[in-house]
Amino acid sequence: MPGRTFPPLPVRHHSPPPVDDRPSTLSHSTNTPRFNLNELIFKLKNFRRSKQQRLPLIEDDITQLCAVARELFMEQPMLLEIKAPVRVVGDLHGQFHDLLKILDHCGYPPQVSYLFLGDYVDRGKNSVETITLLLALKVRHPLNVHLLRGNHESQSVNRVYGFFDECKRRYTVKLWKTFVDCYNCMPVAAVISQRIFCCHGGLSPQLKDLSDIRSIQRPVDVPETGLLCDLLWSDPDRYGFGWSPSDRGVSYLYGRDVLEKFLQKYDFDLVCRAHQVVEDGYEFFAKRQLVTIFSAPNYCGLYDNAGASMGVDKDLIITFDVLKPSERKSHIRTSPTPPESPN
């Protein structure tokens, strides 16, 4: 089914993103792994052909991978500057086979550049495989794979919602701590071609200037309040205005008036975020000034939701690829409809 394209955002001329197809020796890193990175990626990509529910990975290999990825994150700013074209992916929550479907349909790096918005682990059955593949792709193609931190990439959250238990059951608590140390160094926001602001959760009353994001020091755990917390935890308010306490008990809700002021101040056209299950995999808010993307269909086996990813082409025209729950064993289709919050 042909996909619907949306009117382009105002275009600022830019060149295509650089393609990073360097050898897997990773000589640019002081933490060069002693394992074959390409072989690890190959095993993970072909995991679907196995009858096993989980892929036996070597703990030492994962530990080395985390060390190299951590170094790459520390070399990047907290606020990434990314050039279109790029594909944006929302929450995955350990649904590894759905990640593979997205990559199979949309293409693998470096041919396609990706921005992932966080929440890679917890609740799903294959959190270790999910985060390991993403880190491996980041290390293999650092200029074409961008990983932002979600609220589940924190010790206090994934200690409770499944990732700790999965690491402890399959490997060791030490490996979980290694992952957490890596998460503590991830960037938390990105701007696509100077027009689209991306983060996991949303806006913050503590955000006075974009330099506030850049100045967040790492490594850092996610605090209970403040700018870093809000970027990972806040949600748009469908019905209210201004700032109000979030029903989650953490961070805030922000109204469309807050969103509009933010866009005007920084000359952005769109806020792209994740963090919430939406029925169609993506959902607009405030006259298409914000979009929520959720990429885990049939979330937890309880929600009859679709999963989606968003493509941004070189002219800043956006499209959405949607994986319906009923199609998880068939194909991803391109969505023909643009849902919007009743707002």
Instruction: Read off the pLDDT band of 6 (50, 70, 90).
Output: low
- Please count the structural domains in the chain: 1
192 within a domain of the structure (yes/no): yes
- Section 106-134 average pLDDT: 98
Geometric angle at alpha carbon 219, from 172 and 183, rounded to 5°: 45
Beta sheet of 252-254, edge-to-edge order:
235-236, 252-254, 243-245
* Active-site residue, from 93, 141, 146, 152: 152
Taking alpha carbons only, the member of 319, 317, 292 closest to residue 305 is 292
Instruction: Read off the pLDDT band of 25 (50, 70, 90).
Output: very low
Task: Answer whether residue 10 shows pLDDT above 70.
Answer: no
- Average confidence score pLDDT of the chain: 89
d(Cα 174, Cα 180) in Å, to the nearest integer? 10
Chain-centroid distance, C-alpha 178: 20
Q: Is residue 118 within 8 Å of residue 152, measured between CB atoms?
A: yes
22 within a domain of the structure (yes/no): no
Q: How is residue 183 written in tokens?
A: 């998460």
The residue range of the domain holding 141 is 37-334
340 within a domain of the structure (yes/no): no
Geometric angle at alpha carbon 310, from 305 and 313, rounded to 5°: 165
pLDDT tens digit sequence for 192-245: 999 999 999 999 999 999 999 999 999 999 999 999 999 999 999 999 999 999
- HSE-CB at 81 with a 13 A cutoff on CA atoms is 6
Domain at 254, CATH number? 3.60.21.10
pLDDT tens digit sequence for 154-186: 999 999 999 999 999 999 999 999 999 999 999
Q: Is residue 8 within 8 Å of residue 315, measured between CB atoms?
A: yes
d(Cα 206, Cα 231) in Å, to the nearest integer? 10
Q: How far apart are the first and last CA of the chain?
A: 29
d(Cα 307, Cα 98) in Å, to the nearest integer? 9
318 within a domain of the structure (yes/no): yes
Residue type, 316: L
Task: Answer whether residue 1 shows pLDDT above 90.
Answer: no
CA distances from 217 to 58, 80, 117, 187 (A): 32, 15, 20, 10
218 within a domain of the structure (yes/no): yes
8 within a domain of the structure (yes/no): no
- Section 263-277 average pLDDT: 98
29 within a domain of the structure (yes/no): no
Q: How is residue 89 written in tokens?
A: 């992916």
What pLDDT shows up at residue 338?
42
Token match 């500057």: residue?
81
d(Cα 292, Cα 308) in Å, to the nearest integer? 10
Nearest 10 degrees: Cα torsion 277, 282, 285, 289: 130
Token match 């989650």: residue?
248
pTM of the model: 0.88
Geometric angle at alpha carbon 188, from 107 and 117, rounded to 5°: 30
Q: How is residue 104 written in tokens?
A: 């199979």
12 within a domain of the structure (yes/no): no
Task: Answer whether residue 278 shows pLDDT above 60.
Answer: yes
d(Cα 58, Cα 37) in Å, to the nearest integer? 12
Taking alpha carbons only, the member of 246, 256, 150 closest to residue 199 is 150
Q: Is 152 a known active-site residue?
A: yes
